[in-house]
Amino acid sequence: MRVKFPSVALACDRTGISDRIAPLIASAVLKDLGSISDGNDSLRIDIMKIRRGSSAKQEHISIVNGPGSEYFRHVTAENSSAFEIKKSIMKLLVKQFYIEEITTMAQ
């Protein structure tokens, strides 16, 4: 069974931590929690486990406000299709702002 760490991979992608450094940090956390000992390192995380976790590419969309482009929120779409991006934005609006329907008018 191949183990993936998509949450670790996503957090590292968002913060700029490389695939080479991520396993060191993740394994250190597991060791501090007592999940890894010097005699038993079966849970140790290697670089390939991190890379497998980031193989499912998600699209991260930043939503900005107004002419000054002030950061508002971000959403994560399953892929870069317009449908998935729209679905993610609508999910945010319904969940956070209780908006059920949006009508747009193009100029």
> How much is the pLDDT for 82?
82
Q: What predicted TM-score, i.e. pTM, was given to this entire model?
A: 0.43
> How much is the pLDDT for 18?
81
Nearest to 21 by CA among 9, 38, 3, 37: 9
Give the model confidence (pLDDT) of 36-78 as tens digits: 777 776 777 877 777 766 655 667 788 887 777 888 888 888 7
> How much is the pLDDT for 55?
55
100 Cβ contact partners less than 8 Å away, ≥ 6 residues apart? 94
